[in-house]
């Protein structure tokens, strides 16, 4: 259910250790959201979204190494008003959202927003006869904003809540074409498929229910996540001197998930004896998260050539994480691989930073900025790794579960403190109102960390190093055709040192994070917008990347040097248009929008064995909204060509156990505003 954000070849990939930092920073109303369990990415009532590409080592509160996505929610307004939307589609999808805003008392405004989304699953669990990848989500946000007369003061308070649940994810085993012979789980699927009229569809799987030690009943796949956030944003102006801003954030969440990593097991209900090694391997994760952030900024005012900004940032994270792995294997197949491994990982992160930036306008056409940031991350915690005797149906007297995948240990302490100075400089030249060129150097940093599920005490106390990046970027922004067209182009080169790479190791059936010695990313991005006439608007963008690991030998001794970065397509592009026409006697009442987004092939892992072929997705929307009406109606569709693509794989013993993207969805939407 979590989304992986990718900017310029850098991806947030399964970084769920209590000590892990994200490569792509997510900010909501300038508050950093450090863990996926704190975030519901189904954003609503949004004013704007800003994407900052490349490392940001100075501003944005928290330093980020790959880029940032900043979500700014709509603020309260003085005039009373609101809007509501009701949407219905296939897979019995239902969406209801809306907001109400207005003045509550003198100088005090408020806004209340909500969103509810439900849909049936895109995939099927044949064992328990239920949907997978379904969704039941609710979100709400309440705001108050106080702006007293003559005080040059704004105080904005925000409280948000989200709760979403699902029956869990669909996992389907596909034979790895790079491996000798056929994998065990895909072979078992083929045997079951042969028994069914019409066969076993790729969107059908057979995950099973399991009973962990200490549980009273069998558990099946499930995902639950609940989060609460509080933000206090205070902005105070001091005339022509400066503006002070304080941004305080508190977020807490609990995330619980259980899923069958292979999507099929021995108790398949079809009388099929699975291929040897096609064992069941469910995973349970339970995580409680608390995050507190505080940022102070002092920004200069005035119209002179010199401007400046100074600030400080504090972040405290407390993450309690409980992981359970269960292997259910008949003794005749792999008797030692059975039972449970448990990890209790309690981690704390304290981050500190001070930063500053100075800008100067040398001439009307030439200006520059330089900035620097000092960051420190202290990561501490304790972790226990336990072997649990399960007495499962295949191994009732099992005394050495999961041997030798884990050596038991209790309350092993880990600790790491790192710091980095990250400078940034930009020079801008604007010869006229239609041309802007810039040259930027930036240095990015991301703290180190420790493994989520270490196999032994040595692994528990061995950190992976921080990663750093140096980025050089040359950009050009053009306004063309009397301002009706805009073209933005950027050339960039990023050199990473100690790039953190997380991948699944099928030797220990666990995730391992390594530091690639170095990695290089070179690329070009171009974006275009063109208002052809009053009725037609065209847009498009393309990104071309050349990526490479340098001198990267992972912890298993596999040499990945010279390979392309994992999960990074060598090209991405989107193109689309919007056409407005008169309809039913109403001028400019009908809007047709069509877009196509495509990406090239990518390799799922640093070894560059498994890959995803290039694919593209078509989305469309038709909206009827008379200019003098307070209502609208839209027909929409996503992935209109019903393209089959994958969002994740785990390479296991000759199989690619895959997660599929959403199929074709479509529906109708009704909007009302007042």
- Per-residue pLDDT for 343 more than 60? yes
Question: Beta strands of 328-365 (E only): which ranges?
Answer: 339-361
Distances (CA, A) of 172 to 130, 159, 169, 330, 380: 16, 39, 10, 22, 37
- Per-residue pLDDT for 400 more than 60? no
- Per-residue pLDDT for 39 more than 90? no
- Per-residue pLDDT for 433 more than 80? yes
| Token code pair at residue 493 | 């080169």
In the chain, DSSP finds a helix count (H) and a strand count (E) of 3, 36
Residue 58 pLDDT level (bands cut at 50, 70, 90): confident
| Half-sphere exposure (Cβ direction) of 61: Cα atoms closer than 13 Å | 25
Buried b (16+ CB within 10 A) or exposed e, 423-461: ebbbebebeeeeebebebebbbbbbbbbbbbbbbbebbb
H-run or E-run covering 662: none
Phi, psi angle pair for 394, to nearest 5°: -95, -25
Angle at 464 between CA 459 and CA 469, to 5 degrees: 170
DSSP 466: P
Question: Beta strands of 35-80 (E only): which ranges?
Answer: 46-53, 67-73
- Per-residue pLDDT for 215 more than 80? no
Instruction: Decide if 595 contacts 636 (C-beta within 8 A).
Output: no
Phi, psi angle pair for 569, to nearest 5°: -70, 150
Distances (CA, A) of 232 to 238, 245, 343, 514: 20, 10, 36, 38
| Half-sphere exposure (Cβ direction) of 217: Cα atoms closer than 13 Å | 1
Closest CA to 272 of 200, 172, 191, 171: 191
What pTM did the predictor assign?
0.90
Angle at 119 between CA 118 and CA 120, to 5 degrees: 140
pLDDT at 14: 61
| Token code pair at residue 310 | 């100074």
Buried b (16+ CB within 10 A) or exposed e, 612-651: beebbbbbbbebbbbeeeeebebebbbbbeeeebbebbbb
Strand-pair category, 123-125 with 204-205 = parallel
Instruction: Decide if 225 contacts 163 (C-beta within 8 A).
Output: yes
Distance CA 116, CA 45 (A): 12
Report helix, strand or coil for 91.
coil
Distance CA 152, CA 307 (A): 20
- Per-residue pLDDT for 666 more than 80? yes
Q: Which one has a higher pLDDT value, 79 or 59? A: 79
Instruction: Decide if 581 contacts 535 (C-beta within 8 A).
Output: yes
Distance CA 405, CA 324 (A): 13
Report helix, strand or coil for 90.
coil
Give the rounded percent of residues in the chain with a pLDDT score beyond 70: 92
Task: Work out the average pLDDT over 311-329.
Answer: 90
DSSP 192: H
Distance CA 610, CA 605 (A): 7
Question: How many CB atoms neighbour CB 87 within 10 A?
Answer: 17
- Identify the residue whose tokens are 């929307």: 621
pLDDT at 62: 84
Which of the residue ranges 350-364, 444-458, 619-633 would you say has the lowest mean pLDDT? 444-458
pLDDT at 402: 53
- Identify the residue whose tokens are 């309809």: 583
Q: What is the mean pLDDT of the chain?
A: 89
Tens digits of residue pLDDT in 230-245: 999 999 999 989 999 9
Instruction: Please name the residue ranges forming H helices in 254-357.
Output: 331-334
Closest CA to 312 of 270, 356, 344: 356
Residue 269 pLDDT level (bands cut at 50, 70, 90): confident
Closest CA to 167 of 105, 241, 258: 258
Instruction: Decide if 178 contacts 172 (C-beta within 8 A).
Output: no
Residue 1 pLDDT level (bands cut at 50, 70, 90): very low
CA dihedral 203→208→213→217, nearest 10 degrees, is 110
Task: Work out the average pLDDT over 159-164.
Answer: 96
Question: How many CB atoms neighbour CB 81 within 10 A?
Answer: 12
Question: How many CB atoms neighbour CB 374 within 10 A?
Answer: 14
DSSP 465: P
- Identify the residue whose tokens are 């981690």: 347
Q: Which one has a higher pLDDT value, 332 or 353? A: 353
Task: Work out the average pLDDT over 627-652.
Answer: 94
pLDDT at 104: 97
Closest CA to 338 of 279, 274, 278, 258: 279
| Three-state SS annotation for 379-394 | EEEEEEEEEECCCCCC
Q: Which residues pair with 325 in a beta bridge?
A: 283, 341
Closest CA to 530 of 491, 572, 576, 595: 576
Distance CA 28, CA 673 (A): 25
Tens digits of residue pLDDT in 116-156: 999 999 999 998 899 999 999 999 999 999 999 999 999 99
Burial class for 608, CB neighbours closer than 10 Å (0-12, 13-18, 19+): middle
- Per-residue pLDDT for 566 more than 50? yes
pLDDT at 11: 72
Distance CA 588, CA 596 (A): 24
């Amino acid at each position: 259910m979590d989304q992986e954000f990718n900017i310029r070849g850098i991806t947030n990939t399964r970084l769920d250790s209590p000590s892990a930092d994200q490569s792509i920073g997510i900010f909501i109303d300038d508050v950093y959201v450090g863990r996926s369990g704190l975030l519901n990415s189904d954003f609503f009532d949004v004013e704007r979204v800003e994407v900052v590409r490349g490392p940001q080592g100075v501003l944005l509160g928290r330093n980020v190494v790959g880029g940032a996505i900043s979500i700014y929610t709509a603020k309260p307004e003085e005039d009373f008003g609101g809007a509501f939307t009701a949407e219905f589609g296939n897979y019995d999808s239902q969406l209801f959202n809306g907001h109400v805003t207005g003045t509550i008392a003198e100088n005090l405004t408020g806004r209340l927003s909500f969103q509810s989304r439900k849909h049936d699953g895109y995939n099927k669990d044949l064992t328990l006869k239920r949907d997978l990848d379904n969704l039941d989500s609710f979100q709400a946000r309440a705001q108050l904003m106080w702006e007293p007369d003559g005080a040059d003061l704004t105080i904005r308070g925000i409280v948000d809540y989200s709760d979403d649940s699902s029956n869990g994810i669909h996992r389907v085993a596909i034979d790895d074409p790079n491996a000798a012979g056929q994998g065990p789980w895909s072979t078992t699927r083929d045997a079951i498929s042969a028994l069914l009229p019409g066969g076993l569809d790729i969107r059908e799987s057979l995950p099973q229910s399991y009973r962990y030690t200490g549980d009273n009943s069998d558990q099946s796949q499930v995902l639950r996540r609940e989060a609460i956030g509080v933000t206090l944003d205070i902005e105070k102006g001091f005339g022509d001197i400066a503006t002070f801003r304080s941004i305080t954030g508190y977020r807490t969440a609990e995330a619980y998930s259980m899923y069958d990593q292979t999507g099929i097991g021995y108790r398949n209900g079809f009388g099929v004896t699975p291929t040897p090694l096609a064992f069941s391997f469910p995973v349970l994760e339970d995580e409680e998260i608390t995050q507190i952030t505080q940022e102070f900024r002092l920004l200069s005012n005035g119209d002179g050539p010199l401007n400046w900004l100074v600030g400080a940032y504090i972040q405290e994270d407390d993450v309690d994480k409980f992981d359970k792995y269960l292997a259910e294997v008949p003794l005749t197949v792999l008797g030692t691989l059975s039972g449970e491994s448990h990890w209790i990982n309690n981690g704390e992160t304290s981050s500190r930073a001070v930063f500053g930036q100075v800008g100067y306008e040398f001439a009307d056409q030439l200006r520059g900025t330089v900035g620097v940031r000092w960051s420190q991350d202290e990561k501490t915690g304790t972790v226990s790794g336990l072997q649990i005797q399960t007495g499962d149906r295949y191994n009732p007297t099992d005394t050495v579960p999961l041997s030798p995948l884990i050596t038991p240990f209790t309350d092993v302490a880990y600790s790491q403190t790192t710091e980095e100075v990250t400078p940034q400089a930009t020079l801008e030249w604007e010869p006229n109102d239609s041309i802007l060129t810039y040259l930027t150097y930036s240095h990015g940093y991301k703290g180190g960390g420790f493994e989520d599920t270490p196999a032994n005490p040595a692994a528990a106390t061995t950190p992976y190093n921080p990663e750093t990046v140096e980025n050089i970027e040359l950009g050009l922004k053009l306004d063309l055709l009397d301002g009706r067209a805009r073209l933005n182009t950027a050339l960039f080169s990023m050199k990473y040192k100690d790039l953190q790479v997380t991948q699944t190791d099928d030797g220990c059936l666990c995730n391992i994070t390594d530091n690639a010695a170095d990695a290089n990313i070179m690329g070009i991005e171009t974006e275009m917008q063109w208002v052809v006439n009053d009725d037609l608007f065209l847009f498009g963008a393309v990104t071309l990347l050349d990526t490479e690991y340098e001198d990267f030998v992972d912890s298993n001794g596999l040499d990945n040097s010279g390979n392309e970065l994992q999960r990074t397509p060598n090209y991405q592009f989107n193109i689309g248009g919007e056409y407005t026409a008169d309809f039913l006697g109403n001028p400019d009442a009908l809007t047709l929008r069509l877009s196509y987004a495509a990406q090239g092939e990518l390799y799922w892992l640093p070894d560059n064995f498994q890959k995803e072929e290039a694919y593209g997705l078509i989305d469309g929307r038709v909206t009827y909204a008379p200019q003098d009406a307070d209502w609208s109606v839209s027909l929409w569709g996503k992935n209109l060509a019903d393209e089959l693509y994958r969002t994740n794989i785990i390479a296991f013993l000759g199989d690619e156990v895959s997660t599929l993207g959403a199929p074709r969805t479509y529906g109708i939407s009704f909007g009302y505003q007042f």
